[in-house]
Chain A
Amino acid sequence: MKPPPFQYAAPTSVAEAVELLAAHADDDARTLAGGQSLVPLMNFRLAQPGYLVDLGRIEELTRIRTDGDTLVIGAMVRQSDAEHAPEVALRAPLLAEALGYVAHPPVRNSGTVGGSIAHADPAAELPAVALALDAELVVVGPQGTRTVRAADFFVGPFATAIEAGEILTEVRFPRRDGGQSFVEFARTHGNFALVGVASVIETDGATIARASIAMSGVAPVPVRATAAEETLAGSAPDDASIRAAVDAAVAGLSPSGDAHGSAETRTDIARSYLRRGIELALTRAQDRR
């Protein structure tokens, strides 16, 4: 099928985009980022916005920069650009690794970092990365600019704290030391994952100092494996600690099943991939020391 008719504008500034969204609120105005989720939805007529505000011409949203210890990624930075950016490799290797799992390169050449996070697919990689790294999401609207913590940002499947008329402009990743890893299981590479695990582990001598672990695909929103994090913090970086952490995390999961995998299957996969992710992040943390 083809999309139904809609009106279109391509502003060159965030302020202009916010004005357009307000002016066309009655037409169900929506923002268009890279279009790799929205255009398919429109082709199938599952989404029928009457007005699209294309953010693709807003230069200020396409930059990757640093602000002190924080890595700041403009919402319209293409996924393939972020994936290969030296600043990302250095300051948020978890993001670069996760981007390699987002669909395929031709999709990442159009898809944006902000678009994926704002779309908030429960199976998507980047929301879990934002959650694990305690990212801050900068949102601009008619009332001005506000910053939302990743923990408060994802409120349901395909639903975020972005209010009508607001635009996600920046994703801020605070510096994290230690080892980072992203692992996921998908039926075929490039498909949506059944389970994804984003891990950040800091060690301090002979103990694990701090662990941040987020999972995708196991709940309506990406979730932090808080029980696993608490189990790991202060414990020895050994097999028993990892096993205890994985058990703690899995005990708190109740994924729903669908045609791609039953709840039981997803739980089993979560168990395996939590273990792999934690082990990998831990190994990297130890290699860095």
Chain B
Amino acid sequence: MQRHEVTLTVNGRTSTVSVEPRKLLVDVLREDLGLSGAHIGCEHGVCGTCTVLRDGRSIRSCTTFAVQVDGAEIRTVEGLADGAELHPLQDEFWDKQGLQCGFCTPGMLMRACEIVEQKPDVSREEVREGIASNLCRCTGYQFITDAVCAAAARMHSGSSETSGAQA
């Protein structure tokens, strides 16, 4: 079977892999690039645990062939933390118990990342609606909502403080 060269910039690092066209993005991330953060759940775009960001927007990496995203910039859960410093979302998921088994967490974090980046002053209702794209069978979503709202508030106030300091 013919193989295709696919170049991806994942969490800032550019790699080229040679793949069959049938290879899903999530499998390239996990098998070829060693990034096992994005999980494989339903394989038909319903559960959301494979969610990653393509050029800043969330997609299902299990319903995306790697060849389709040749040249794209991908962000996965591995790219959230800054070294040993957790991203505010990760920090708040920890603090508010926004996870139990952890299977949905990588996808949930990336979806949440898109939500708070798109709208820093996102409302609680919008967070609830927004994360409906991702299934969690442990938490009942309340603690996840708490964590996302707390992270959004922290990131929002952090950014306004920064701009205030600059002014």
Chain A residues packing against B (C-beta within 8 Å): 1-8, 10, 32, 35-36, 39-40, 42-44, 52, 54, 56, 80, 103-107, 109-110, 189-190
Closest chain A CB from B115 CB (angstroms): 9
Pair A106/B68 contact, Cβ less than 8 Å: no
Q: Which residue of A lies closest to B70 (CB)?
A: A10
Pair A6/B67 contact, Cβ less than 8 Å: no
Q: Which residue of A lies closest to B23 (CB)?
A: A2
| Contacts A4-B22, A54-B67, A105-B130 supplied; 10 other A-B pairs, CB < 8 Å | A5-B22, A7-B1, A7-B21, A10-B70, A35-B64, A35-B65, A43-B43, A56-B68, A107-B45, A107-B133
- Interface residues of B, count at CB 8 A: 31
Chain B residues packing against A (C-beta within 8 Å): 1-2, 4, 20-22, 24, 27, 43-45, 48, 51, 54, 57-60, 62-65, 67-68, 70, 111, 114, 129-130, 132-133
Complex interface: chain B residues within 8 A of A107 (CB): 45, 60, 63, 133
Pair B22/A6 contact, Cβ less than 8 Å: yes
Dominant secondary structure at the B interface: mixed
Pair B63/A109 contact, Cβ less than 8 Å: no
Closest chain B CB from A252 CB (angstroms): 33
Complex interface: chain B residues within 8 A of A80 (CB): 57
Interchain CA distance A58-B142 in the complex, whole Å: 42
Pair A190/B132 contact, Cβ less than 8 Å: yes
Closest chain A CB from B148 CB (angstroms): 14
Pair B21/A43 contact, Cβ less than 8 Å: no
